[in-house]
Structure 1
Amino acid sequence: MSTQPTILVVDDETELTDLYATWVGDSYDVLTAYDGRSALEQLTDEVDIVLLDRHMPDLTGDEVLEEIRRRGHDCWVIMVTAVDPGLDIVALDIDDYVTKPVTRSQLTRIIDTLRVQSRYLQDGRRELQALSNKKDTLEDELTMEELEGTETYQQLEDELGKLGESLGDGFEEA
């Protein structure tokens, strides 16, 4: 039995799925799925991280994510997708959101960061980090003018502030 973490790579672009699998295959056990249904068939408690495309023809990444969480899987989920992020990502139960194209170093850095965080992120800190990642993604994609006037962004900032305060880590909004 392997002691390496397991990553499930899900993308309907087979070449991209295989490329990502090659990139992480030396450090992780890798499963690949070329559509949402086969991803759910391969999902077991052994899966630690899911790299999930958002736009697929049979089941969308959002639907796959919803089913992953409905089944109670607590794996890390990173959306790796060509879909530009919008305020709707705030409602997604994901740990990070990356817009394609992604480089090998970007992908491995994100995965490695999540693995390190998983050792330390307890008692809501994982949620804090996921919210912070979403905020960073939105701020990279949209202007502050586009964000600040929205109720969703304000709720995200409020939630980050409250969660940071409750965890006592000194997290403050810039």
Structure 2
Amino acid sequence: MSAQPTILVVDDERELADLYAMWVGEDYEVITAYDGRAALGQVSDAIDVVLLDRHMPDITGDRVLEEIRAAGHDCWVIMVTAVDPGLDIVELDIDDYVTKPVTRTQLTRIIENLRVQSRYGDDGRRELRSLSNKMETLEDEHSVEELADTEAYQDLESDLKELSGSLVEDLDGE
């Protein structure tokens, strides 16, 4: 990320998009899109972080995410949505998932954590954080007992353990 990251705020609720833009606009350059088509028109390699609503009337946030990744953009993507997280988030190529209502403190903390993490390069830590965030999000919404019997959660848990072990081995080898 550059010294002052550029954040693309995408939400079909204009008031919310504008509010999020105001919250982060003091510390970051902000671009706002009020629907999926506009978001896709604004995405470029200059975007560092996308705050993405999941349910929008024209193009869903999931589809916008797919298009961002298919185009090769390596920006951080934070789903900021009223959609309660289900096991389908395991498959989303996102860095974090936040359920509305969201506070200014939550948004700024997540973005700052991503900025700190970006300083350490991409040696697997980004994927580890993404997996950890997904697990935490699911466990906040569902009981561990309920999740433990699902294949998606078991795969997530396994991937997290494997990646953690791999990173520890890499650090021990240095």
- TM-score normalized by structure 2? 0.94
Distance (whole Å) between structure 1 residues aligned to residue 169 and residue 38 of structure 2: 40
Per-residue deviation, residues 51-99 of structure 1 (Å, max 9, x unmatched): 0000000000000000000000000000000000000000000000000
Per the alignment, residue 142 of structure 1 pairs with 142
* 2:87 partner letter: L
Deviation at 1:17, TM superposition (A): 0.2
Equivalents in 2 of 1:8, 1:111: separation in Å?
A: 12
**Distance in 1 between the 2:168 and 2:24 partners?**
35
Residue type at the aligned position of 2:124: G
Shift of 1:166: 1.0
Give the match for residue 19 of structure 1: 19
Q: What is aligned with 2:87?
A: 87
What is the aligned residue count?
169
Q: How does 1:129-168 map to 2 (within 5 A)?
A: 129-168=129-168
Give the structure 1 partner of residue 117 of structure 2: 117
Instruction: State the shift of 1:5 in Å.
Output: 0.7
> Structure 1 residue 122: deviation in Å?
2.1
Q: CA deviation at 1:4?
A: 1.4
**Which residue number corresponds to residue 36 of structure 1?**
36
Q: Tell me the percent identity.
A: 73
Find the aligned partners of 2:110 and 2:152 in 1 and give their Cα distance: 25
Task: Report the Cα distance in structure 1 between the residues aligned to 2:115 and 2:22, rounded to whole angstroms.
Answer: 19
Following TM superposition, where does structure 1 have runs of at least 4 consecutive aligned residues deviating by more than 2 angstroms?
Answer: none
1:72-130 Cα shifts (integer Å, max 9, x gaps): 00000000000000000000000000000001111111111111111115211110110
Q: Kindly provide the CA deviation profile for residues 10-49 of structure 1, in whole angstroms up to 9, marking residues without a partner as x.
A: 0000000000000000100000000000001011110000
The one-letter code sitting in structure 1 at the alignment partner of 2:157 is E
Q: CA deviation at 1:169?
A: 6.4
Structure 1 residues 55-70: aligned runs within 5 Å: 55-70=55-70
What residue ranges of structure 1 are gaps of 5+ in the alignment?
A: none
Q: Distance in 1 between matches of 2:15 and 2:169?
A: 42
| SS, match of residue 30 in structure 1 | strand
After superposition, what is the alpha-carbon deviation per residue over 1:140-173, rounded to whole angstroms, capped at 9, x for unaligned?
0001121000011000000001111111169xxx
Structure 2: segments with no counterpart, 5+ residues? none
Is the alpha carbon distance of 1:121 and 1:138 closer, same or farther for their aligned partners in structure 2, counting shifts above 3 Å?
farther
Structure 2 counterpart SS, 1:120: coil
Root-mean-square deviation (CA), in Å? 1.3
| Deviates further, 38-47 or 2-11 | 2-11
